Amino acid sequence: QQNNFLLSVTHELKTPIATIRLIGETILKRSLPQEKQHELLGTILENTTRLQDMTENMLTAMQMENNRYTIKKEAIDLSGLVNEVKQSFSLKNPIFGNIESDIAFFGDPILLKMTLNNLIENAIKYSDNQPVELNLSVKDRFITIEVKDSGAGIEPEFRKKVFRKFYRIQDEETRETKGSGLGLFIVKQAVEKHKGKIYISENQPKGSVFTVVLDLGV
């Protein structure tokens, strides 16, 4: 798995870097119409975001692994944070669902954002860009965040394993999808640092549901 990881990371770094370089060269060499330039710059931005997300994931995973990540908790407007993340995806992919307003939580905003980003990225990635459902609600002491997709789903035997570091399901779909196997490792660590729980279930009629439960009482 370590070897697979190195291979996929190298590939994942090389592709966006090569794309950015090629676009840079093209823009330098040719006098393109402004509209085309705009489009190419958009692709550069997309690729730098990918690189940034990836390096952030790797750094956080390393820190978590060495117990070097110091959690910085503060009073958060969780409804606002979830809406913000939802908004950041809206250009790329439609996200529907119900985000209850005025839910406050004492937690680490960076880790919580990373958790949502990773779950939503996966939901989009493993469902061929179909719309994703994102729900936030609170009942008594418990906050529930759900990310639902309509992809191929995750068989029960893999529902624990996918949270391991570097673990990727060895099926065709995963092989064809870019990834390093770090996302869900980070998600699980982040949720546990908030003394929360995460589990996977089946979506209807197909796909996966990732449910994060946070306790307001701890």
User: Could you tell me if 179 and 8 are in contact, meaning their C-beta atoms sit under 8 angstroms apart?
Assistant: yes
186's CB contacts (< 8 A; 6+ apart) are 57, 60, 61, 64, 114, 115, 118
Tell me if 208 contacts ligand ADP by CB under 6 A.
yes
What's the longest Cα–Cα distance across the chain? 62
DSSP 73-103: -EEEEHHHHHHHHHHHHTTTS-EES-B-SS-
Closer residue to ligand ADP (CB): 78 or 184: 184
SS3 146: strand
One of 117, 122, 189, 203 touching ligand ADP (CB under 6 A): 122
One of 183, 188, 189, 190 touching ligand ADP (CB under 6 A): 183
- Tokens 């710059």 belong to 41
Closer residue to ligand ADP (CB): 105 or 185: 185
Task: Write down the least CB distance from residue 80 to ligand ADP, Å.
Answer: 25
Tokens representing residue 48 in the block = 């730098």
- Tokens 């796909």 belong to 207
Task: Write down the least CB distance from residue 156 to ligand ADP, Å.
Answer: 13
Task: Write down the least CB distance from residue 72 to ligand ADP, Å.
Answer: 24
Tell me if 126 contacts ligand ADP by CB under 6 A.
yes
Q: How many CB atoms lie within 10 A of CB 134?
A: 22
Closer residue to ligand ADP (CB): 105 or 163: 163
Annotate each residue in 143-182 with x if it binds ligand ADP (CB under 6 A) or - if it does not, as one string. ------x-x--x-------x----xxx----x----xxxx
**Which residues of the shown chain bind ligand ADP in the complex (CB under 6 A)?**
118, 122-123, 126, 149, 151, 154, 162, 167-169, 174, 179-185, 208
